[in-house]
Structure formats: C-alpha cells, structure tokens
Chains A and B, each alone.
Chain A
Amino acid sequence: MTTPTVKIPAGHNCATCPAHNIGNLTKLGINMENWDYVVALAGNPNTGKSTIFNALTGLRQHTGNWPGKTVTRAEGGFEFGSHRYKIVDLPGTYSLLSTSLDEEVARNFILFGQPDVTIIVADATRLERNLNLVLQVLEITDRAVLALNLMDEARRHGITVDERSLARDLGVPVIPTAARSRQGVPELLQAVHDVATGAFVCQPHRIKNEPPALKSAIKALVEQLETAFPGLPNARWVALRLLDGDQRIIEAVKRGELGDLTRDDPGQTNGDLVLQLQEVQHA
C-alpha cells in the first residue's frame, strides 16, 4: 500500500478514496501563511463548529456545550490534497438578518470576506430550525458545503436524515458528520476541496415563494444592481437587504464596496474590510 507522502496519479482509485485522503490532511495549527483557499465555518450556535475547526486545524480552541461560546472569529490553517487552506470559525448565529454584533461579524465575513468555501454546520437533530440559517447563507454565497453534524445524536434519537434529498433541494454537497468522533471529516474535506477547486459547482437553493409584490421588487432591484455591479455573486441577497433597509448594506452600496465583491479579480480580498472585520473582532 501507500504512505501519505506518495503522490497518487489523479484518476487512480486511491486518489478519490476518502480513506486515502484523510492521510493528506496536515493540521497546520495557527500557521496560515500562503493559503490557497479561505474556508468559513458558519452555523447555528452549539452545532459543533469549533469541534470541526479543531479537527481540521489541530488547534484546541475550547468548545463549550452552550450557545454563544464563540463570539469572535478564530482562525487556523490546514493542508489537504496539496492545497493550503485558511479556516475561519465564525460566531454561531440563528440568522443573518438582525443587528447584533456577533451576527454582523458572521454576515460581513461571508459577504465581504468572500470565503472560497463556506462550511455550514447544521445540527441534524434540529434540522428545520438550522435550515433557516442555511438558506440565508445560500442566498449570500454560491460556494457552500453543508456539514450535517451531530449525526450520532440524531441516530440515538431515532432520527434519520436523507442527505441525498437534502443535497438535491439545497444544491450543495451535504456530508453527514459526527465531528466529536471525527466521523465524516475526510468526506467533508473532499467536498470542501471539490467546491474550492471548482470540481463541484453548486447550484444553491434560492427562496422562490415570496409574495408577488416582494418578488417583483427584488427582480427590479436585481436588474439595477447587475447593471451597476456586473459579476456581483449575490445581487438577489443584496436586493433583499436593501428592501429590508439594512444600514450596513446601504453604506456598502454608497461607498462602492459592492464593486469589490464582483468576481473579476479573484484572489484579491479588499484590505479595508478585512481590517474592519479585525477591528470588530478585537474591539
């Protein structure tokens, strides 16, 4: 057999086998230099984001069994399949629509930090409530992976989740995990890798059942947004927020920050916002 250091040619069965690929995971701790991709971890409070973060980075950020344990961002690094990843553990939130500081940290990072992949961690035992946030994240970004975490607990309670139906409805990869015991982590890494490299193209679910008045308002606004900011990946969501009167987004439109969100110059995150985020974080 093979050791993890041996390069397996692409297309070889081993290269696609998760059992091989877990050997390719190198936990880099806080070493985040020269990353190729940025991964964000979002999700409801207390669903195991920090546990997944620790499993991937080898860091030991304390994971408490209570909602609201992480209110700031934590960052770490890992290497997988010859790519280096920087991973950002965002504060857990129930939604991205209100105004508290922790939700804004999470929202701003997904929107302005433009992670290459957002891992949305959902609690399999409370899927319906968790999906509210999942759908909101999918409105913002079209590169996401759903980690269906706490599957062990769900099994214990006799709950079964059909992850294929879920993946079909959401349009993103869905990976059942039990991060406490590292189950599903290799598969999750593979899915992150696929989305990051573009091997898998997500077709995220977008809300379709708005009342007609709202629908036509969104349509009108999206047209204007796309003319002004061609390539904006989440015009629909920006339109929703503008209709809702979200001050931060109105500011972003005024200051032309939205222009920076277009996908024309990949790799260049706007320094201003990263700085602002850090200020929020360390404030």
Chain B
Amino acid sequence: MLNTGQMNPPENALPNAAQNILDTANQLRWDVGGSAHEKIVEAIYTDAARIADRAVTYPNTPPRFNLDRTIDRLVTSRIWGFPLMILLFTFVFWFTIIGANYPSSFLAWLLLDNVHPLLKEGSAAIGLPWWLDGLLIDGMYLATAWVIAVMLPPMAIFFPLFTLLEDFGYLPRVAFNLDNIFKKSGAHGKQSLSMMMGFGCNAAGVVATRVIDSPRERLIAIITNNFALCNGRWPTQILIATLFIGALVPAYLGGIISALAVVGIAMLGVLLSFVVSWALSRTWLKGEASTFSLELPPYRPPRFWQTVYTSLIDRTIYVLWRAIVFALPAGVVIWLISNVMIGDASIAEHLVNFLNPIGWLLGLNGVILLAYVVAIPANEIVIPTVLMLTVMVTGASQYGAGSGVMFETGSQETMALFHAGGWTLLTAVNLMLFSLLHNPCSTTIYTIYKETGSKRWTTVAALLPLAMGFVVTFVVAQVWRLFAMMG
C-alpha cells in the first residue's frame, strides 16, 4: 500500500513542496474541467450501484401491503397530515394533564403541607434564628419543593411520551409536513428538525442547527428556535391551562380543553417561527432557500421500557436537577427580597409596585414580571417563583406569616391564591403567551453565543422574542379590555 515511506522530508522543504502541489492542483482543476466535483461523485455512485447490485437480492414480488407506506400516506397527507398532528399532540397533552393531577397534589401534600411544617417545628425546637430559618426553609426548601411538586409529574409523563413518538419515527414526518412552509418562509427545511429538538430543549435545538449548511439559514433557525416551547416552559403552560382555561368548562371537559389550549400555544409558536423566518429572510438575512433531502426513517416499534427509562434519566431527572440547582439560589433571592424591608415595605413589594403599571399594560402583573427577572437563569422556576412571590407579597395581609401557606397544585387553594394576587383569565392567557414569547434562558443564550460567535446575533436572538412578547401581550390586553368594556 502507500505507507511505505520511512523518513520525513526536511523541515524547510515543506512550504515549497506544498506550494507546488497547490499550483499543480489549480492547473489540473482547469484541465479536468469545471465539474471535477460532479465527476468524482458520479464515479462513486456508479461504483456503489455496481457493488450493491452484486450483493443485494430483493424479493421477487414486493409485498402487496406495506404498512410503512400506508402510515406515511396518511400522516404526511395534504389533507390529514395537520389534523392528525394536532390530534396526536392534543392526546399527549391531555394524557399529561390528566395523569399529572394526582401525583402533583400528592407531592404538594407531602412536601408543602406535611414536610414543611415539620421542618418549621424542627427549627423552632433547636432554636434557629428567624432569618436563618426563613432563608433555609421558607426560601430554599420551599422553592425546591415547589419545583418538584409542579414540574416532576408532568415531565415524567410528557417526556417519555414524546420520546416514544420520536423513537417510533413520527417526528421526521412532522418535519416533512412543515418543510414546505419553511421553504416558503425562505428558511431551510431542516429547520423543522432543529425546531423539533427545541421542543425538548432550546439549547439542544440551537446545537442541532448544525445540520444546516448555509450560515444564513442556520442563523434564522437559531434565532427562531426559541419559539419552540421547551422543557422548562411546558409545565408553566400545562399548569396555567389546567387552572384557568380548563376551569371555564365543566369538569369532564376540563382536561381536553386545557390540552387544546396548550396545543394552541405550541402551534402559535410554530406559526411565529414561520413569520419571523419569513421576515428575517426578507430583511437582514436575504437569500434563497436551499434544497435538501430529508430521509423518512422506517417506523420502528420503540423499545418501550428502555425508552421510558432513558427519557426519565436523560431528560426528566436532568431537567429537574437543573431546576433544583437554580431554584435553591432563587429561593434565597425570593426570601431576601420579600423580607428585607426598605421603609415600610419589602424590596419585593417595592419592585412589584414599580412593575405593576407595566404589568397592567401587558395584561400581566408586577409579580409575574419580577418572577421572569428572577428566573432568567432557568425558565423552569417561573411558576414556583410566581407562586412564592404571590404568597409573600399578598401573604402579609391575606395569609399572615407570609409563608408556610398550604397549597395544592391544581386545586381550589392555588386558585384562591391566584385570585388573591388579582389574577384574571386575561392574566392567565397573557402569562401563557409571555411564557412562549420572552428571552431564552441563560443556557440557551450562552449556546447561541458559542454557536454563532457573534454578540450582535446573540443579542438579536435574546431580545427579539422579548420585544415580541411585550407587543403581543400589550395588544391582547388592550383588545381584551376593549371587549370587556363593550360587553
């Protein structure tokens, strides 16, 4: 073979020899003609076809019924593709909402109603100073307990279901359905794949855009990835939809209506990523969409238990752990700003009062805005932060000590708490919208910076969705109030 040489060329001979080689290559490229690339590819394909032809025998009569084809014809059909997609995702969310209810209330009962008072008694017994007791138990412990109670059950159901769909081979079909629209938006069809990854985690989705060759289209995919609802935001959507939207209808319809609301928000996100891709590809990132081939993998029966296991370990525990890591310091911050007094009110109250007018304009409130500031490191802790801040801010008058209130997720008591905080249906709808449309979490922002290497595009990717969130919630709030006045 070729590796017969034994000695290295003298060091100083290299540059010259290298230059010669490149010159020769340039010269030869002209001799071969402009299509060296195609000729090489053609030669490879011819050989591949010949070798494969010799080695492979196909069945003489193709089977009359091909299950894969039949399923594909249905799920990628022009007429049935989208309805089936919506139906399937609605089922997944409905199942998640129904299934998460009971374990969530159990965890809340355990961690908040029972363990928390026990800890309080314990600390009183050993005589912890009030501030340490507050910081540790009402701050760190409560924030963590909330994160677990609110997030664990829906995640433990949603992630395995989603992963099963992925393993079965359905997601590429969704990408196939969406591809045409992406192309019309001037974006790369593979953006549908990175968006699918974004439904799990936006940071992963941003990394997944590497499959896109053209830098222009890749940038569009990165900027719009945030419109795919991620791990950290699904629980917010599910909880708020269950409490507010599901409560509008009779109990037996509650689950399905809440599921539809969540699907609606997710679809809105998909729609917005088309709109923003379209706008970007006609303004800052002008250019034609490139073509590509998308392989639809065969349907494979997922290995059920292994999938459940890996999605529990890889995703559920991973995300939960991340949430807990961020919840601990956030708990400290929440407790501190709620208990350090400036003048006659706590820092939190000052901040909330300051943010309230802005919150009102957006159909939200000061507590939610403050929660989003506290939760910049991780979206996962938004809802727990909102709940804790609401307790602490309203708690002074409504609930006494400002902590240790009994709540149960998904129950009347949480609702009572929200009502005490002045929440309406508008607040809930706009929180769902704002949860879809705001800056990506710190991990995603950092990933975007590493992938693009550009401060400018990172800033765009971070602020564009936030600006859209402000605009959308503002418009919705004003229109809502207009109708409310007329009604």
A contact set with B: CB distance below 8 Å: 45-46, 60, 62-68, 71-72, 91, 94-95, 97-102, 125, 127-129, 131-132, 134-136, 142, 153, 157-163, 165-166, 169-170, 180, 203, 205, 207-211, 213-214, 217, 220-221, 224-236, 239-240, 242-245, 250, 253-254, 256, 259, 262-264, 282-283
B308-321: CB near A (< 8 Å → 1, else 0) gives 00110110000000
Asked if B25 and A242 sit within 8 Å, CB to CB, the answer is: yes
| Residue interface mask B74-108, A partner, CB < 8 A = 1 | 00000000000000000000000000000000000
- Residues from chain B with a CB closer than 8 A to the CB of A220 are 24, 28
Compute how far the CA of A210 lies from the CA of B31 in the bound complex, rounded to whole angstroms.
Answer: 14
Q: Residue B22 contacts which of A68, A95, A209, A254 (CB distance < 8 angstroms)?
A: A254
Task: Specify which of A217, A230, A243 is in contact with B9 (CB 8 Å cutoff).
Answer: A230
Q: Which of A60, A125, A221, A264 contacts B310 (CB 8 A)?
A: A60
Q: Identify the closest chain B residue to A136 (Cβ).
A: B44
Which A residue's beta carbon lies closest to that of B173?
A: A66
Which of B57-65, B276-284, B466-474 forms contacts with chain A? Answer: B57-65
Residues 29-63 of B at the A interface (beta carbon under 8 Å): 29, 31-33, 36-37, 39-41, 43-49, 51-59, 63
> Which chain B residues border A282 with CB–CB below 8 Å?
450
Is B208 at the interface (CB under 8 A from chain A)? yes
Whole-angstrom CA separation of A207 from B453 in the bound complex: 39
Chain B residues near A153 (CB, 8 Å)? 298, 300
Near A by CB (< 8 A), chain B positions 263-305 give 293-295, 297-298, 300, 302-303
Tell me if B1 is interfacial: C-beta within 8 Å of chain A.
Answer: yes
User: With A and B bound together, what is the CA distance between A153 and B297 in angstroms?
Assistant: 12
Q: Interface on chain B toward A: helix, strand, loop, or mixed SS? A: helix
Chosen A-B contacts, 17 in total, with CB atoms closer than 8 Å, are A65-B297, A66-B169, A66-B297, A67-B294, A71-B211, A134-B48, A157-B63, A159-B58, A165-B55, A166-B51, A208-B47, A217-B36, A225-B21, A230-B8, A243-B32, A244-B37, A259-B14
Most buried by B among A65, A100, A209, A242: A65
Do A158 and B2 touch across chains, with their CB atoms under 8 A apart?
A: no
Q: Which residue of B lies closest to A235 (CB)?
A: B2
Known contacts A65-B297, A230-B9, A243-B28; is A128 also within 8 Å of B213 by CB?
A: no
Is the CB–CB distance between A65 and B167 below 8 Å?
A: yes
Q: Is the beta-carbon distance between B56 and A160 smaller than 8 angstroms?
A: yes
CA distance A232 to B181 in the complex (A): 48
CB distance from B88 to the nearest CB of A (A): 16
B207 A71 Cβ-Cβ under 8 A: yes
Q: Given the complex, which residues of B lie within 8 Å of A203, measured CB to CB?
A: 1
Interface pair B29/A68, CB less than 8 Å apart: no
Name B62's closest neighbour in chain A (CB-CB): A158
Query: A264 vs B9: C-alpha distance in the bound complex, in angstroms?
Result: 12
Q: Which residue of A has the minimal Cβ distance to B33?
A: A213
Smallest beta-carbon distance A42→chain B, Å = 15
Contacts known (A66-B171, A220-B28, A224-B21); A98 close to B213, Cβ less than 8 A: yes
Q: Which residues of chain B have C-beta atoms less than 8 A from A262's C-beta?
A: 3, 5, 8
CB-defined contacts of A134 to chain B, threshold 8 Å: 48
Which residue of A has the minimal Cβ distance to B37? A244
- In the bound complex, do residue B3 and residue A127 qualify as a contact, i.e. CB atoms below 8 Å apart? no
- Does A127 contact B52, Cβ atoms closer than 8 Å? yes
A129 / chain B contacts, CB cutoff of 8 Å: 48
Given that A66-B193, A220-B28 are contacting pairs, would A244 and B210 also be in contact in the complex, using a CB cutoff of 8 Å? no
Q: In whole angstroms, what is the CA distance A101 to B52 when docked?
A: 29
Q: Which of B18, B40, B52, B59 contacts A256 (CB 8 A)?
A: B18
- B21, B208, B212, B294 pick with most chain A CB within 10 angstroms: B21
Q: Are B2 and A233 in contact (CB under 8 A)?
A: yes
A-B pairs, top 4 by smallest CB distance, nearest first, are: A230-B5, A158-B59, A231-B5, A128-B52
**Whole-angstrom CA separation of A115 from B485 in the bound complex:** 72
Query: Complex Cα distance A98/B44, Å?
Result: 14
Knowing A68-B208, A100-B213, A240-B40 are in contact, say whether A224-B20 is a contact too (CB < 8 A): yes
Chain A residues positioned under 8 Å from B33 (CB to CB) = 213
Q: Is the CB of A221 within 8 A of B9?
A: no
- 13 extra interface residue pairs, beta carbon distance < 8 Å, beyond A60-B313, A127-B55, A234-B2: A64-B167, A65-B168, A125-B298, A127-B52, A142-B1, A159-B56, A159-B58, A162-B57, A229-B9, A230-B4, A243-B36, A244-B36, A253-B22
Instruction: Give the interface centre of B43, B171, B210 by most chain A CB atoms within 10 Å.
Output: B210
A232 touches B8 (CB 8 A): no
Q: Which of B22, B40, B55, B59 contacts A210 (CB 8 A)?
A: B40
Cβ-closest chain B residue relative to A207: B43
Distance A142 CA – B3 CA, assembled complex (angstroms) = 10
Report the minimum CB–CB distance from A70 to chain B (whole Å).
Answer: 10
* Contacting pair A68 B5 (CB below 8 A): no
User: In the complex, which residues of chain B have a beta carbon less than 8 angstroms from the beta carbon of A46?
Assistant: 295, 297
The chain A residue with its CB closest to the CB of B46 is A209
Interface string of B12-26 (1 = CB under 8 A from A): 011101101110110
Residue in A132, A165, A225, A227 whose beta carbon sits within 8 Å of that of B44 in the complex = A132
Complex CA–CA separation, A72 to B2 (angstroms): 31
Nearest residue (CB) in A for B4 is: A231
A220 CA to B32 CA, complexed, in Å:
12
Residue pair A254, B210 in contact (C-beta under 8 Å): no
Contact of A180 among B14, B168, B171, B303 (CB under 8 A): B303
Which residue of chain B is the closest to A213 with respect to CB atoms? B32
CB-CB under 8 A from B57, the residues of chain A are: 159-162
Once A180-B303, A214-B40 are accepted as A-B contacts, the answer to whether A256 and B5 lie under 8 Å apart by CB is no
Q: Does B166 contact A (CB under 8 A)?
A: yes
**A251 → chain B, closest Cβ, in Å?**
10
* Closest-CB distance, B223 to chain A (whole angstroms): 17
